[in-house]
């Protein structure tokens, strides 16, 4: 009898549940299913100084006026993949960005977090990290997905840095895979697998914990050191 060809490990083939359009509440923000009622606040957030570079690597934006933003939000909110949430930090009380779960493959237990647009007043804040963490935890812990994906324009260094900081492992770059706004795009791809997730989850949760923040709203320790030994997949 010939030797069997090498195959991957056996896994539970049960399809994972689809994400639902439900709100998620965190310590520093709320995630609300995206709706046209968010459009006016999102338009105002997009007018903050320094907002325009945030659209550089997305397939849409910046928008010419509030009505154009409203049309985009209406179409975006009507989709089932991606599923979008507006980010409402408690500090501002306004919708200051959005993010999605997308490329959802329940039978393969794979899901991506993407389409992340944060206005300048949300960027590099505790709420920004928690917004991503809430969806990561929802996908991996609550829905039981086995593979969580992060993809970005290969030239988008801030996104690559964010992936590393959150613990995503670089898998490679897909060359000339898309045309975005008339320009050729290479896509860098990262992932977290189910057996890697508990360490990532604990490191992020420890960094977000109230005990890690001083009276002026600054973290006492970086994510790599917040109650855990330094980890090679966390940048800081």
pLDDT (tens digit per residue) in 219-229 = 999 886 544 44
What are 20-30's pLDDT values in tens digits?
999 999 999 99
CATH number at residue 135: 3.40.630.30
| 3-state DSSP assignment of residue 197 | helix
Domain count within the chain: 1
Asked, for residue 8, whether it belongs to a domain, the answer is no
What are 55-98's pLDDT values in tens digits?
999 999 999 999 999 999 999 999 999 999 999 999 999 999 99
Query: How much is the pLDDT for 95?
Result: 98
Query: How much is the pLDDT for 126?
Result: 95
Q: Could you tell me the residue range of the domain that residue 100 belongs to?
A: 24-212
Asked, for residue 28, whether it belongs to a domain, the answer is yes
Asked, for residue 47, whether it belongs to a domain, the answer is yes
How many residues appear in the chain? Answer: 236
For residue 139, the tally of other CB atoms under 10 A from its CB is 26
Q: Is the pLDDT assigned to residue 186 strictly greater than 60?
A: yes
Q: What mean pLDDT do residues 105-115 have?
A: 98
Query: For the chain, what is the mean pLDDT?
Result: 93
Q: What mean pLDDT do residues 92-110 have?
A: 98
Rg of the chain on CA atoms, in Å: 19
Asked, for residue 227, whether it belongs to a domain, the answer is no
pLDDT range class, residue 1, cuts 50, 70, 90: low
Asked, for residue 230, whether it belongs to a domain, the answer is no
Asked, for residue 7, whether it belongs to a domain, the answer is no
Q: Quote the CA–CA distance of 193 and 170 in Å, as a whole number.
A: 12
Asked, for residue 228, whether it belongs to a domain, the answer is no
Asked, for residue 88, whether it belongs to a domain, the answer is yes
Percent pLDDT > 70 in the chain is 94
Residue (of 10, 7, 31, 8) closest to 21 by Cα position: 31
Q: Quote the CA–CA distance of 127 and 97 in Å, as a whole number.
A: 11
Q: In what order do the strands lie in the sheet with 29-33?
A: 24-25, 29-33, 83-89, 97-105, 110-118, 147-153, 183-193, 169-180
Q: Is the pLDDT assigned to residue 236 strictly greater than 70?
A: no
**Beta carbons within 8 Å of 221's beta carbon, 6+ residues apart:** 207, 212, 227
Q: Quote the CA–CA distance of 104 and 13 in Å, as a whole number.
A: 15
């Amino acid at each position: 009898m010939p030797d069997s060809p090498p195959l991957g490990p056996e896994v539970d083939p049960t399809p994972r549940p689809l994400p639902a359009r439900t709100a998620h509440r965190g310590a520093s923000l709320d995630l609300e299913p995206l709706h046209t009622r968010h459009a006016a606040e999102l338009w105002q957030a997009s007018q903050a100084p320094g907002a325009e570079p945030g659209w550089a690597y997305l397939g849409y934006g910046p928008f010419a006026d509030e009505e154009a933003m409203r049309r985009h939000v209406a179409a975006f909110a009507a989709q089932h993949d991606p599923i979008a949430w507006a980010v409402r930090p408690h500090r501002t009380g306004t919708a200051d960005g959005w993010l999605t779960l997308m490329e959802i493959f329940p039978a393969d237990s794979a899901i991506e977090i993407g389409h992340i647009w944060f206005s300048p007043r949300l960027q590099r804040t505790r709420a920004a990290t928690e917004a991503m963490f809430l969806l990561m935890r929802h996908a991996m812990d609550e829905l039981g997905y086995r593979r969580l994906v992060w993809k970005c324009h290969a030239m988008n260094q801030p996104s690559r840095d964010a992936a590393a900081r959150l613990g995503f492992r670089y898998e490679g770059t897909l060359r000339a895979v898309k045309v975005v706004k008339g320009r050729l795009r290479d896509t860098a791809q990262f992932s977290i697998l189910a057996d890697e997730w508990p360490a990532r989850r604990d490191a992020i949760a420890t960094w977000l914990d109230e005990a890690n923040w001083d009276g002026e709203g600054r973290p006492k320790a970086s994510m790599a050191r917040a109650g855990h030994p330094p980890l090679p997949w966390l940048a800081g």
